[in-house]
């Protein structure tokens, strides 16, 4: 006897084509056309003018400052994410849930609010402002403030990728390594790291992309000093307000290329299983007798 089932939404050929067409049109309008406009405007006055715009001292400084911020913030947040994920998944301790909540805080707070909070902590009228000024240490409107703001908004990325994966893997392998006499560092390097490497790289890529594109928090703590504390996103805004539209799009094309490269790396890492707990991983770490 044939089994009857209710038709699924969108199963009909006409409705399926309508949905696919609508999605393709939305992607074209929201994604492809803006990218085309960026590169068209960036090269509207020719390749020579584009190169001249990128080679301007303020633009080069913004690019270098953005790269330097990423070189500092991303490794620190990577170490923090590994340590946080290790603590949450490998140990039971009072405040474990509170730590998970704290890791998620940057995702629930506006970056501008985070930047303002740094003003109240490190500003001249802030909690440590006077003490830092007397010591000759400049945090705000300088590289340290930009790095701190970038670190805050990107702190959860690595941890969020590692925690679900490490929870699925459990503690059996690490406990077996320790019982055989391996040190903590050797256990991490030889047992844990090989099993989390793709998720770790995935989190690092996402963290790096957010650091380079961060605007809100950095705009508050940097002071927007042209040629000194402007990262690339802030410099693009200044060029636009100066009615240098072609220059703004030329600088924006640099960020666009970085975003596209990041997207490509993200896709390649997802093909390796990063960003998700695949069935193979689940079955590999499932208790014997339960894995199918």
- The Cα 250–Cα 241 span in angstroms is 14
The pLDDT value recorded for residue 185 is: 81
Higher pLDDT, 288 or 267: 267
Band (pLDDT 50/70/90 cuts) for residue 291 is: very low
d(CA 68, CA 71) in angstroms, rounded, equals: 5
How far apart are alpha carbons 121 and 238 in whole angstroms? 27
What digits encode the pLDDT tens for the residues 140-179? 888 999 999 999 999 999 999 999 888 888 888 887 888 8
Q: What is the pTM of this model?
A: 0.81
pLDDT for 284 beyond 50 = no
Give exposure, 152-165, as e/b (b: 16+ Cβ within 10 Å). bbbbbbbbbbbbeb
First to last CA, the chain: 30
pLDDT digits (tens, 9 = 90+) for 59-92: 999 999 999 999 999 999 999 999 999 888 888 8
* CB atoms near residue 228 (< 10 Å): 15
> What ranges in the chain are assigned the alpha helix state H?
13-27, 33-42, 47-54, 57-90, 96-108, 111-122, 129-134, 143-154, 156-169, 172-179, 184-187, 193-213, 216-222, 232-241, 245-271, 279-285
| pLDDT value at residue 76 | 95
Distance CA 292, CA 290 (A): 6
Instruction: Say yes or no to pLDDT of 4 above 70.
Output: no
| pLDDT of amino acid 283 | 42
């Amino acid at each position: 006897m044939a089994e009857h089932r209710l038709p699924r939404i969108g199963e009909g050929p006409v409705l399926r084509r309508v949905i696919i067409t609508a999605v393709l049109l939305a992607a074209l309008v929201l994604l492809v056309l803006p990218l085309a406009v960026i590169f068209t405007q960036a090269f509207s006055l020719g390749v020579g003018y584009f190169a001249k715009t990128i080679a301007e001292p303020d633009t080069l400084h913004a690019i270098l400052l953005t790269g330097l911020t990423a070189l500092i913030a991303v490794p620190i947040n990577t170490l923090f994410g590994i340590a946080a994920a290790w603590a949450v998944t490998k140990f039971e301790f009072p405040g474990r849930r509170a730590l998970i909540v704290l890791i998620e805080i940057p995702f629930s707070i506006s970056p501008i609010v985070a930047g303002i909070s740094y003003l109240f902590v490190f500003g001249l009228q802030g909690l440590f402002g006077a003490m830092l000024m007397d010591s000759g240490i400049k945090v705000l409107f300088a590289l340290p403030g930009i790095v701190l703001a970038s670190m805050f908004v990107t702190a959860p990325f690595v941890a969020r990728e590692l925690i679900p994966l490490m929870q699925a893997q459990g503690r059996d392998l690490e406990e077996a390594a320790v019982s055989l006499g391996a040190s903590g560092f050797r256990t991490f390097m030889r047992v844990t790291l090989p099993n989390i490497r793709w998720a770790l790289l995935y989190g690092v890529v996402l963290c790096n992309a957010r650091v380079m594109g961060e605007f809100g928090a950095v705009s508050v703590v940097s002071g927007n000093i042209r040629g000194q504390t402007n990262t690339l996103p802030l410099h693009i805004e200044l060029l636009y307000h100066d009615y240098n539209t072609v220059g703004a799009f030329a600088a924006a094309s640099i960020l666009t290329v970085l975003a596209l490269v990041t997207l490509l790396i993200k896709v390649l890492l997802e093909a390796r299983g990063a960003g998700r707990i695949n069935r193979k991983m689940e079955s590999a770490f499932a208790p014997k007798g339960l894995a199918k």
